[in-house]
Amino acid sequence: MKIKGLLCAGVCLIMLTAGAAKAQRAGKLPQLLLRLDDIGMNHSVNVAMQQVAKTGMPFSASVQFATPWYQEAVEILKKNPQVSVGVHLTLTSEWKNYRWGPITGRTVVPSLVDSVGYFMQSTGDFAKSGYKMKEVEVELSAQIERALKSELKITYIDPHMGVALSTPAMRTMTERLARKYKLAISTLSEVTYYKETYLEMWGEPVATKKSAFLKYVASGLSATRPNLVVIHVAQVGPEMDALFDMNASEMNTKEGKPLTSLHRQTELNMLLSPEFKAMVGKRFQLINYDQLLAGQDLSILKPSNNR
């Protein structure tokens, strides 16, 4: 009886697995795109991304090629071909005492930097800075070219903090860069090019972040459109704990204690949770941008009206 029970359990498991795979092939499961942002920002973010990569799940990683730790991110990503790579176009530097600036140099793009040569610390400061569009294009082109020279396969671009799609002129310039380098543009909120739905977990309170995410992927996904969820991961530790966000007050307590570390560790935990793992292949099909874009002509680039 014990042997028969084991055989039955094995057969049932095979049937469930086969059923989930069949459903995926038939396109019956909603498609879920996970995009991990700010990769390369620091070591804590990179090793958290590496933890997710070790699961073998397909996802997309948006790398900040203007930040100090991007080379470590490149090393990790070269070992994980199941991860689609994008360039997280960076024009702001939002942390107190941890800054970065243009890779072209402050003298080449002087309208993009503050008095000490770093990018502006908020989207508002950038908007009021008197930036020159030509300098923006020069800098973002350099970031894309650095990414292409890394020998990673680069699939898409997307804007850090939304800046590179924040005005009609910026959007036109970013679309021009996408066409020039034959790259896609990943969705930003209401700006979508491949009909993705959009959810960002960043602003969800720590206490409800995991439950909100699990509820959404269990029952809130569109069955007819790819579903993009933007995630920010990091490991708690001295490096992350010290980061005070100069752009978003909700990322710090009223007393001035940074909360970013806790937010990002929580988002990492929810991706690695048994509850999420149990839904993969049953409630949704995980895909990356390479899979989404397979066979598409990237030269045809226009915003979708399906939001």
pLDDT at 191: 86
Matching residue, tokens 């226009």: 302
74 lies in some domain:
yes
Domain for residue 10, yes or no?
no
d(CA 264, CA 260): 6
pLDDT in tens, 27-68: 589 999 999 999 999 999 999 999 999 999 999 999 999 999
CB 157 within 8 Å of CB 167:
no
Query: Within 13 Å of residue 220, how many CA atoms lie on the same side as its CB?
Result: 12
Is residue 11 a part of any domain in this protein? Answer: no
Task: CATH number of the domain at 167, please.
Answer: 3.20.20.370
Ramachandran angles phi, psi of 222, nearest 5°: -70, 140
Q: Which two tokens stand for residue 295?
A: 């066979």
As a whole number, mean pLDDT of residues 265-287 equals 98
Which residues form the domain of 70? 23-293
- Residue 121 located in a structural domain: yes
Helices (H), the chain: 2-25, 43-53, 70-78, 123-127, 133-149, 168-181, 206-219, 238-241, 260-272, 274-279, 289-293
Alpha carbons 239 and 49: distance in angstroms, whole number: 16
Q: Where is average pLDDT lowest: 12-16, 36-40, 169-173, 256-260?
A: 12-16
- Torsion sign (Cα): 53, 201, 178, 40: negative
In a domain, 171, yes or no: yes
Number of domains in the chain: 1
> What pLDDT, on the 0 to 100 scale, is given for residue 2?
38
Q: Is residue 299 part of a domain?
A: no
Provide the residue count of the chain. Answer: 307
Q: Residue 222 domain-assigned? A: yes
Does residue 180 fall inside a structural domain? yes
Q: For the packed helices 168-181 and 133-149, what is the interaxial angle rounded to 10 degrees?
A: 30
pLDDT band at 253 (very low <50, low <70, confident <90, very high): confident
